[in-house]
Chain A
Amino acid sequence: MPVNTSAIGKTYEPATYAVGREKIREYARAVGETNPVHLEVEAARAAGYADVVAPPLFAVVYSAASVGPPIFDPEVGINLAMMVHGGQEFEWGPPVVAGDEITTTASVKDISESDGRGYYVFESTSTNQRGEQVCRGTWTNIVRGV
C-alpha cells in the first residue's frame, strides 16, 4: 500500500516554550554535561552569557510541543507502533539561555516509501524572542510495514 503523501508541505501552529534555569540544569545533568556554563549562573555570566546556557540538544525540549502534532496527525497517518526514530539533524544559531522564549513551527518536509518502509521527515524552525533563528531540526521517522 503506497504511503499517503498529501500532507507534504503542511505547517502546524507554532508553540512557544519559556526556557527555565532549573530545566536547563536538570537536562544538562541528565545528559552528563560538566561545562559550568550549563550549570552555574556565575560561570555563564563570566563567559559572556546572560544566564545558564542550554546544551545544544536541549532543542528537543523546546521543540517537543511543536513536533508532536505532525507525528499524531491522522492526515500524515503514521502507524506509531511500527515507528522508529531513524535520523536527526540540528543546525544551530545563537545560543539559547535561561529566560529566552523560543517559538517553534513544525512542518511536513517529505513523505516517501522505499522497500516497504515509510519515511516521514518533519522540519522544525525555532526562533527566540528577538526573532533570531536558534535552531532548525530535521526529524526522520521510519515506519515499517507500510
Chain B
Amino acid sequence: MADLTVGAEIPEVRVTPDKYLTVRYAGASGDFNPIHIDEEFARAVGLPGRILHGLWTMAQVARAQTEAAGGPEHLKRLAVQFRGMGLPEQEVVVSGTVREVTGRRVVIDTVAEQAGKQIIRNAEAELEL
C-alpha cells in the first residue's frame, strides 16, 4: 500500500493507449459510439479523429486509486468531470493527492492529463482501508 497520509501524492499511473485500444474497449464495454472507433465519422462530426472513451479514462483514474490502496475492494466512491477529449497514442497521466484522512476513510483529489491538459478534472476518490 502507498503512503496515504494527508498531503501524500499517490503513485502516478502512466499509460499510452495504443492505436486499437478504443476498439478493444468498445468490445469490452459495449460502447460502440462511432466517434471512438471510426476515424472518418469522428472527423465528419468535427473531432480531430477518434477519441478515447471517457469511461476508459475514468477506469485509469480508478486504477490509480486501487493500486495505491492495495486492491479494488478499497475504492468506495469516485466522482469525475470529463473535459475536452482524450486521444489514442498519447500518454495519459493520472495523479492524485490525499486531501483528508478520517479513521479508515481516505479522500483523494485526482486528475487525468494528456499533453498537459486535464481530460478528467475535479475528481474525488474515497477509499476505505
A30 touching B75, Cβ below 8 Å: no
Is A18 at the interface (CB under 8 A from chain B)?
Answer: no
Separation of A38 and B54 alpha carbons in the complex (Å): 21
Indicate if the CB atoms of A91 and B76 lie closer than 8 Å.
yes
Contact of A92 with B82 in the complex, beta carbons under 8 Å: no
For residue B116, CB closer than 8 A to chain A, the reply is: no
Query: Which range holds the interface residue count of chain B?
Result: 20 to 34
User: CB-defined interface of A61-88 with B at 8 Å, one 1/0 digit per residue?
Assistant: 1001000000000000000010011111
In the complex the two chains form, is A60's CB within 8 Å of B29's CB? yes
Whether B28 lies near A35 (C-beta < 8 A) is no
**Is there an interface contact between A37 and B55, defined as CB atoms closer than 8 Å?**
no
Mark the stretch among A6-14, A51-59, A107-115, A119-127 that contacts chain B.
Answer: A51-59
Interface of A is mostly: mixed
Please determine whether A88 and B62 come into contact, CB atoms closer than 8 angstroms.
Answer: no
Select one of B21, B27, B56, B78 contacting A56, CB under 8 A.
B78
Question: Which of A33, A56, A60, A89 counts the most B-chain CB atoms under 10 A from its CB?
Answer: A56
Residues on the B chain within 8 Å of A138, using CB? 79
- B58 at interface (Cβ–Cβ under 8 A)? yes
- Chain A residues positioned under 8 Å from B31 (CB to CB): 60, 64
